[in-house]
Amino acid sequence: SPTDAAKDAAARAAVALVQDGMRLGLGTGSTAVFMVHRLAARIRAEGLRLRCAATSRATCELAGRLGIAIEELDEIGWLDLTLDGADEIDPDLNLIKGGGGAHLREKITAAASDRMVVVADPAKVVEVLGAFHLPVEVTPFGVETTRIHIQRLLDAMGMTQRPMLLRQRDGAIFRTDEGNLILDLSLDRIADPAALGRGLNAIPGVVEHGLFLGMCHLALIGSPDGSVIELT
Ligand code: DER
């Protein structure tokens, strides 16, 4: 499909940034799948020696199937570059992530990297964050009280939102790799992402939210014709 071609074009451009000996963070999601395939091809063709940490079990398993050696983040210690997808990218390269439910490990991994490069198709580029739901990972313990705290925060910020939905997958309550739950916030537009991020971080039961602010250094936006636009 045109979207797949755009994702693969972005993935190819991102993998071109990988240099022999790098310590890499591998992202999660459908665009990251194209990236992992492209990376495996380069490793095979050029014998690249890399140290790779995965941001989800899904990426770890895919990389393993493609012959990419995966190590734990703590075995590597720090990363040169993380390549990951995004659900939304604003003009300041602030992101909404978490559509695939992996944003806790993705954020830790990106924060443990000298550079974070995002790969995406054009639909992800927005003027204002918020049309895509904002995932908030919460502990199962006290989740209903956490929901109240989040609602109070949104009220205080004058943000209206439709009922917060506990994420489901295949008809069951979704659990993250850490065993936590995800509340998806439908905010339409987030006028002040930094204030919302700070407010969410202050709520006891909130583990991590999908706002990646000031973390992305470069976004590679692929087109169906194979061309790539760089947003910095
Ligand atoms: O869950 C995530 O954070 C993914 O990276 C998501 O943001 C992008 O997924 P996609 O490439 O399948 O759109």
| Whether complex ipTM tops 0.95 | yes
Write the pLDDT tens digit of every residue in 8-43: 999 999 999 999 999 999 999 999 999 999 999 999
Mean pLDDT of 211-224: 98
Atom of ligand 1 nearest to the CA of 106: 3
Q: How far is the CA of 103 from the centre of ligand 1 (A)?
A: 9
Neighbours of 46 (CB within 10 A): 10
pLDDT in tens, 85-120: 999 999 999 999 999 999 999 999 999 999 999 999
What per-residue confidence (pLDDT) applies to 179?
97
CA 229 – CA 122 distance, rounded (Å): 9
**What phi, psi does 126 have (nearest 5°)?**
-130, 165
Q: Which of 3, 4, 28 to mutate to test the pocket of ligand 1 (most atoms within 8 A of CB)?
A: 28
Q: Is 29 in the pocket of ligand 1 (CB under 6 A)?
A: yes
What is the rounded average pLDDT of the residues 124-143?
A: 97
Instruction: Tell me, using a 6 A CB cutoff, whether residue 222 lines ligand 1.
Output: no
Contacts of 222 by beta carbon, 8 Å cutoff, 6+ apart? 5, 6, 7, 8, 9, 10, 11, 13, 119, 120, 121, 122, 228
Is the minimum distance from the CB of 106 to ligand 1 under 6 angstroms? yes
Q: Quick one: average pLDDT of 204-221?
A: 98
| Cβ 227 under 6 angstroms from ligand 1 | no
Of 215, 218, 151, 221, whose CA–CA distance to 187 is shortest?
151
Say if residue 145 carries a ligand binding annotation.
no
Question: What residue spans of the chain are helical by DSSP H?
Answer: 2-15, 30-46, 57-65, 73-76, 103-111, 143-156, 193-201
For tokens 């895509």, what's the residue? Answer: 132
In this structure, the number of other CB atoms found within 10 A of the CB of residue 41 comes to 13
The pLDDT, as a whole number, for residue 160 is 78
List, for residues 134-155, the tens digit of each pLDDT value.
999 999 999 999 999 999 999 9
**pLDDT at 161 (0 to 100):** 74
**Average pLDDT for 63-77:** 98
Is 100 labelled as part of a ligand binding site? Answer: yes
Q: What is the pLDDT of residue 102?
A: 96
Interacting residues of 55 by C-beta distance below 8 A, sequence separation 6+:
25, 26, 27, 28, 32, 82, 84, 102, 105, 106, 109
pLDDT value of residue 215: 98
154-164 pLDDT, tens per residue?
Answer: 999 999 777 89
Is 86 annotated in some ligand binding site?
yes
pLDDT of residue 163: 80
Nearest CA to ligand 1 atom 4: 29
User: Is the C-beta atom of 176 inside 6 A of ligand 1?
Assistant: no
Dihedral sign (CA 118, 122, 230, 196): negative
106 among known catalytic residues: yes
